[in-house]
Amino acid sequence: MATLSSCSRLSSCTGAAAIHHRQPADLPTERRHRRLRLRRHPVRHPLQHGGYAEAGGPLLLPAIEDGIFSDNWRIRQSSVELLGDLLFKVAGTSGKAILEGGSDDEGASTEAQGRAIIEVLGREKRNEVLAAIYMVRSDVSLTVRQAALHVWKTIVANTPRTLKEIMPVLMDTLISSLASSSSERRQVAGRSLGELVRKLGERVLPSIIPILSRGLKDPSASRRQWNVYMHKRSLHWFEVMGSAGKHQLLSFMDELIPTIRTALCDSTQEVRESAGLAFSTLYKSAGLQAIDEIVPTLLRALEDDDTSATALDGLKQILSVRTAAVLPHILPKLVQPPLSSFNAHALGALAEVAGPGLNSHIGTVLPALILAMDDDDADVQNSARKATKTVLLVIDEEGVETLIPELLRGINDSQASMRRGSAYLIGFLFKNTKLYLADEASDMMSTLIILLSDTDKATVSAALEAFSRVVASVPKEHLPTHIKLGVPILVPGLCLPKALQPFLPIFQQGLISGSAETKEQAAEGLGELIDVTSEKTLKEVIVPITGPLIRILCDRFPWQVKSAILSTLTIIIMKGGIALKPFLPPFQTTFVKCLQDNNRSVRTRAAAALGKLSALSTRVDPLVSDLLSMLQSGDESVKESVLSALKGVIKHAGKSVSSAIRSRGCALLEDLLQAQADDVRSCAAKVIGTLSQYMEETEISDLVQIILNVSTSSDWCTRHGALLAFSSISMHSLSKLCHLASFPSLVDLLKDSLKDDKFPVREVATRTQGRILCFQLQSEGGTLQLVQFLVLALRDHSSEVRRRSSSCIKAAAKINHSALATHHSILGPAIADVLKDSSMPGHVTAAQKYLGMTGLEVKKIAKLNEESDGSENSDDDKRA
């Protein structure tokens, strides 16, 4: 019967324990209290029988212990109270004593009561129960904390001694709780551990630290499940060090440092992360000692293939918490040349963690990585390139002040690999960074343009690519501010395929959206750029360049803008060649329209552009016809520009002009030779001379005769125009002119013109005589009469005429000085008069030439200026 009774009571105990966990935690207070009293009955009742207490206790404890670690605070509270009732009965105390205040060191229990608990529960179970109670003394719920503290003080006589006895079990309980998935349980364990060390540090640390160190060798998979076990262990160390004083930590350095060092190289990521936090706390107390004893070991581990990966991550962990302190100790080791692939990888990994902390070390890291980017080993190249990109992207705004000068220094380095790598990194930085670098773009562009002249082709390509990326990073509205880039010489980089592509957005944006002044600068800058670009490269972008220029030229913009665009279009025409054929019609229409502009600069540049354009056209008669029509209807200022354009068209495409158009042109030009405006007469004469190159013999003969007929007019402007025409014809078609039947009449006209009362007429006559003399000296014709004419001009009262005569004698002496020397009896006295005229130094050139070839010695020659005067600056003078 006793056995049956015991079994019945044991069944009731286990049932009560099961009911205990099935009760809802949110019942009304009265019902909850009633059920709690019901659950306490099987705890109090069986223990009144000594034999049964020994059997019933172990059955109740597992269920109660589980309740202590429940996620619900009410269940934890009930479990603690039930456990207290159980222990009170075992110890033989009522547990009703009120214990307030006082120290934790002493409780209300006695040694005998403690031994009674051990006898009933066993030492191991007793240690587990007390460890659980001690932990929940730091519960997040106040009622649970109060209940646990009451139980502890009631059954524990001496807290420090008891903790020392249960320390291994307590640490195991805390560590398991720290590894729990329950956030409340982890928090309670951490608080309990902090409380333990804060109040009893000196007493318990000697027991805690060795236990934690041994825990790193735990092979149990369940203890390391989900890679969290060691993570929480390391977090525990952090709690320990955060609560302990500096003097306490220093006394355990011999155990703490090896423990952290081992954890930093652990195979589990979470462990290494927490070890980094522990290192940070250790550094606060130990300072450089922590670095000196841990970092060198990690650096040595980097050299071992088996431990390099974990050691690198360990370095990353301590860098993440102590960047400024640790980085100076790591970088010198990693950047030592030659840089290995792993070291390059390590630099990148550490840079990612160090972030802005790397700002002050850019000068150490960047040069080594740039040089490694050009290493012969492909693995080293790739690792270095990846690491360098990481370094650039972790730099913050303050670091830019260090980074940009370092990159510019690399651009100017003597090693091609350094220049090439720096250019590449500039492009990468401006393309990928999130920092605002628009203010740095101008200096970068100027520097990269200079690099386009580098002797290393790969560097030139890298510079061009970098320039493209810098331009792309600048907001469109800011592009026009970079128009004045300055490309002073023909650089190799502008001869590469698509070399102009990076530059175009700058100038196009300036042309499209800039102010009038910006548009002018954009057009001029584009012209300068095209001027130093190869024709092959220009052809690739000729369409996107030309279109906007024509559109702007047709709009109502200031003359400065139009003039600059016309100048640029002229350069494009000269270099673009046949690729511009689709643009011939709009070009021609636009240029002809600009010939009637109010501004002289626009008209002049339009005339020059039209002349260059005609060389690309196969049919010029319509254009010449339009120009001739404009001559008939335009005012004097327009006539000058139209005549300049006509001269350019005939010069570049005169062979394509039909005889009918030539005849019409000659008739119109003959009338313009009599114009009152000097510029119109001069331009008309130049057109006639240019056109004479393409005339038949009969055409030129008729033209000369017509001009001879008007050359004796009483109007000096008409006489001057006729002589200008002969001068121009002598420049372009002298051979034809000298073989005409009317040539003697021309010579007589020139002789008579030397006596004209207008010095411009005499000056032009002298110029024409000089050209004819040069031709006769070459063809060994008669020269005496022409020499006499020039001697007469040397004695003219006009300095302009005398200067022109001197220039003609100089030119003749260069061609055939021996033939000219035969006339020294005539030239000698005239030249002597020139030598006496100290106010006309320009005239002595002729005297020097003559005296030099005749061998006459004149003391003054040594003092004479060897340079010619400025009378040969015009086109006509150069042929004189």
pLDDT tens digits along 84-95: 888 888 877 766
CA distance 802 to 817: 20
Angle at 533 between CA 532 and CA 535, to 5 degrees: 130
Q: What is the mean pLDDT of residues 261-287?
A: 73
Q: What are the φ and ψ backbone dihedral angles of 158, each rounded to 5 degrees?
A: -135, 105
Regarding pTM above 0.75, the answer is no
Question: C-alpha 677: how far from its chain's center?
Answer: 58
Write the pLDDT tens digit of every residue in 6-27: 333 334 444 444 444 444 444 4
Instruction: Give the model's pLDDT for residue 226.
Output: 29
Listed range (44-58, 205-219, 373-387, 454-468) with the worst mean pLDDT: 44-58
Q: Is the pLDDT of residue 496 over 80?
A: no
- Taking a C-beta distance cutoff of 8 angstroms, is the pair 402, 360 a contact? yes
What is the pLDDT, as a whole number, of residue 727? 92
What's the rounded Cα separation, in Å, for the pair 474 and 182? 52
Does pLDDT of 229 surpass 50? no
Residue spans of beta strands (DSSP E) within 67-132: none
What pLDDT, on a 0 to 100 scale, did the predictor assign at position 728? Answer: 92
Greatest extent of the chain over all pairs of C-alpha atoms, in Å: 172
User: Which of 94 and 117 is assigned the larger pLDDT?
Assistant: 117
CA angle in degrees (0–180, nearest 5) for 553-554-559? 50
Q: Residue 106 pairs with which residues in a beta bridge?
A: 158
Task: Give the domain ranges of the chain.
Answer: 2-157, 776-878
Share of the chain above pLDDT 90, in %: 12
Task: Compute CA distances 308 → 227, 314, 342, 343, 869, whole Å.
Answer: 20, 10, 9, 10, 83
The pLDDT of residue 517 is: 84
pLDDT at 819: 79
pLDDT > 70? residue 589: yes
Contacts of 684 (CB under 8 A, 6+ apart): 643, 669, 672, 673, 675, 721, 724, 725
Q: Is the pLDDT of residue 32 over 50?
A: no
Dump pLDDT digits (tens) for 785-818. Answer: 888 888 888 888 888 888 888 888 888 888 887 7
Give me the mean pLDDT over the 99-111 stretch: 60
**pLDDT, greater one: 346 or 766:** 766
Lowest mean pLDDT, pick from 156-160, 469-473, 595-599, 873-877: 873-877
pLDDT at 297: 78
Provide the pLDDT for residue 285: 67
Q: Are 605 and 549 in contact (CB under 8 A)?
A: no
> Which amino acid belongs to residue 312?
L
* Dist. CA 273–CA 263, nearest whole Å: 9
Rounded Cα distance between 11 and 89, Å, is 20
Range of weakest confidence among 86-90, 130-134, 536-540: 536-540
